[in-house]
Structure 1
Amino acid sequence: MRKKLWTMLFVLVAASAMLFAGGAGETKTTEVPEDIVWVTPDRIGNPNAPITLTYAVDLTYSHQTETVSRREYLTQRMEEWAKAHPNVKLIPQILSNNPSERLAKQLEQAATGMIADAAQIDGQFVPLFYRWLQPIDQFYSEEELDDWFDWCRTEAMVDPADGKLKAVWLLTNTVGLWYDKSAVPNPPESWDEFILTGKDLQSKGYEYGFLTWGGKNEQISYGSVVPMFFALGGDLVDEDDYPVYGAGDNRDKLIEVFKFWKRAVDEGVTPRRILDINNNGDLVSEAKAKSTAMFLGGSWLMSVLADNLGDEIDNWDFANTPHYSADVKMQVPGGYTMGYFTKDAEKLALIVDFMDYVYAGKDGMAGWCSTAGYTPVRDSVFTDYEVFKNDRFQQAFGAALETARLRPNSSNYNIISEHVQEGWQNVILGTQTPEEAVDTAYKKTLNQIR
């Protein structure tokens, strides 16, 4: 609480200094146009404000988004903050929607000092930016920090090298098991149960035992391979960022994951045509058509399923991804953080306050996550806000993410993921054995990073 009061005092003093700057006895106020539009697509706040802040976010996290509900929420919160800070204007920057391109550009901008005052960073890659991120410990009490999920703090928010808070996690998601409770009263927890339950569904008239996204995309790695590999204790890279997923015990563990998927295809529980499932809409369509009662899909599908299934959404639920053993739980979380790069103390205090109000503070996180359909990463948001406390899906997402491990913050991750996706697809297609697929993928990775 003392740190929050310090932050508020800092912002107020800074604002007063700007509003009443000038010579001795001279008062200079920030002019606010009578017909001001507080939020425009390319500006937030008073156009005459003496302080300019920049921030970079994904289009879908921006008030420029075409999604009406998101745009309305963001515009309202941004306008409220801007009116309370007439000495500040913010200029948004939109990030590339290509993950590899985005990461490369952000690293280059950070290294050259050309990055925005604040930037949205994929949680898994935050450690790559630690050397440039500014500490923000003074703005959060220990009690507040403890409110974030443990893996958020240890995996991305706190720099282990100096113990400083370097980013705040905004939200999360994960890929898990969506299932129709009327057909699957108890969700499978192991690979054997997954296949047996799928066969039972097929005996009852369902065309497929279970489905997943199979078109080449990060969701293959994120949802269908890496969680199972991590559950076995596998590592994609070593402590020196060198790929090790195809060597030694890690090779054996990835082969085991590929063998599970080969078994699912060979036993007819999941079809080779999953390779043609290129988006989440395809999975929802299969659920709506009742061709399946189980699929691995993102937690972000909640609203899409509700829109498409109508009242039948009451029959559906979400559970952990099944793994080699029923007593093993492991989810891979996704989601974004906000990192701060400005070295100006006044600007840092203001931009942290703005981002808390819109995205990361308790009210901001509850408002943004409930509007956009994301899962919060603060315990208090789950317990103190009715929209989450009474939402069985959000409670299920939160419960699933109690045991989670991030994909590595490796500069080689996107290369690794691309080759793992290809190997998995070749196993599904039947053109390579699991052993051949792992060895080929690993060889390609090593050749590409040399």
Structure 2
Amino acid sequence: MKKEDLSYVYLLLIHVFIGALIYVLPIISTGYTLILFVFGFYYIFKNKNKNHEALIMSAYVVSVEVLLRMTGGGIFNEFGKYSVIVYMFLGMIYSGISRFSIIYWFFLILLIPAIVVSSFSLSFDTDIRKAIAFNISGPVCLGFSAIYCYKRKITFDRLKGVITAFCLPLTSIVVYLFLYTPSVRDVVTGTQSNFETSGGFGPNQVSTILGLGIFVFFVQLLLNSKSKLLQMINAGFVLVFAFRGIVTFSRGGIFTAIVMIFILMIVLYFMANFNAKPKIGLIIIFSFLAGLGVWGYSSLQTKGLINKRYANQDAAGREKKSKLTGRETLMESELKMFFDNPVLGVGVGRNKEIRAQETGIVAASHNEITRMLAEHGSLGVIGLLILFFTPLILFLNDRQNILALSFWVFWLLTINHAAMRLAAPAFVYALSLLAVQIKIPEKAENSGD
């Protein structure tokens, strides 16, 4: 086994240990957070971002964010997004940006009017700073990440390094989940999202990050496993993440992972030569069979309740009235706010306040699209169009970033069920903008256009 393969295995084992250690001593999580942020800053500063250290550290933070939150170590709720913003900004200082990234500067400018509106319209009982920060930190994180990544030249090998950075903390998360709930069968009693199988944290967010785990370990298995041992390790993690994701009983992350993998296989199939196409077909068949196996095991462990969950039934087998667990009510209220305030919207953070006054429902948005419409009005429409079409146009012009469409889909599907409460959709979206090349001159590797 090569040295880099051994390093990967050792790093995985270290993160298995970290997950177990944090479970035994949760207080370590806070120290881990502080050390991580300081190390990331130093790592980028010391290397002057010559090898995309900003991307590596951001990927790591994105993956570890849920673990820090579920163990109370995040210091403040938006630690992940603010860390990514800082790392991206530091990377820009050392490596510059593409002159064409102005489109994402424009996107950030579009956010400002709604911030001004909310500053004057939020009630005195509302913590204005927190209300604005909670809702705007995701789009700002996306904007900075997109500016850094836009048409930035990067080798495919280095992109695989970013994928590896995603994988490491995810290993700690899945170890923590197994220690927190060693017996799934004992804690599953209904078909609602399950906090016990989600480490005591929000199942929606845990499902989101586990879905990302399924995909990144699948990419490792497919494109970054040069030995039989690595193939077995990465395949094992794909199955483990699929199982733990399914038993959260939160469907969004699982559906997203399936679509990401499906799109990746389509891209690979159409880009492959004639001899490689049958191999891709076999991979699809084996993936399907493995998926059936994991589903069958999950069904046994949940006494068949997971089947009812995905059939939108309760534990007694009766079909639930809501197919989106009540989120359509939130979406309808936000669309009404948009139609009532189509120009500048109601202001950042104000949709929750208005919904509570008009409907009595006190809940944050689960859908970033309707939230953007409600809070930013027509400017939100323009911003969403920029976010939706730019990665597609870049991919059509240069298809070497074979992961681009999968990254884009992760963002699109995630913001429809989990908004942008995590840093993950913002940063992963930005990766779809990278100009990936098989081999580029060393001096140009770290620069934008």
TM-score band w.r.t. shorter chain: under 0.3
| CA radius of gyration, larger in | 1
TM-score by length of 1: 0.27
Larger proportion of helix? 2
Return the structure number with greater relative CO, CA threshold 8 A, min gap 6: 2
Between Structure 1 and Structure 2, the one with more strand by share is: 1
